[in-house]
Structure 1
């Protein structure tokens, strides 16, 4: 479940940063950010909740949790975290 949440969070961040924001800035289409932004926000909250759940149940170490949290703020970071850290779970 955390692996899926990481992939969804990473995908929505990519959509927001690489598509929605440039469309807003370059093409004057702020409505794209108004749509993708809340979707990404929800995806981030679900991902963060899953990180907390997995940490509390002992499936993640504190270090893995920290890496996963930081990865959520870096484009493609959640994909790397999912592949390198979560494949062990």
Structure 2
């Protein structure tokens, strides 16, 4: 049996994740451990970004709020076109 790459738990039904361009398999006993290990962190607050986030150049933020706090004043979260008129 394999061991989780984050918590070290030995478990028979581990999750195997292979990243594009990385020949190494990553093994986790739960989605929580996989996210902890692989999800990118917000440049401002450090929270793990699970959705699209706001990317400006090479920097990734969890929200437009964090991007604006780092000086990117025009950053906005995604707005659906048909709802934009209601704002």
**TM-score grouping bracket, smaller chain normalisation:** under 0.3
- Per the normalisation by structure 2, the TM-score is 0.25
Larger radius of gyration: 2
TM-score normalised by the chain length of structure 1: 0.24
Greater strand proportion:
2
Give the number of the structure whose residues are more often helix, by fraction: 1
Structure number with higher relative contact order (C-alpha < 8 Å, ≥ 6 residues apart): 1
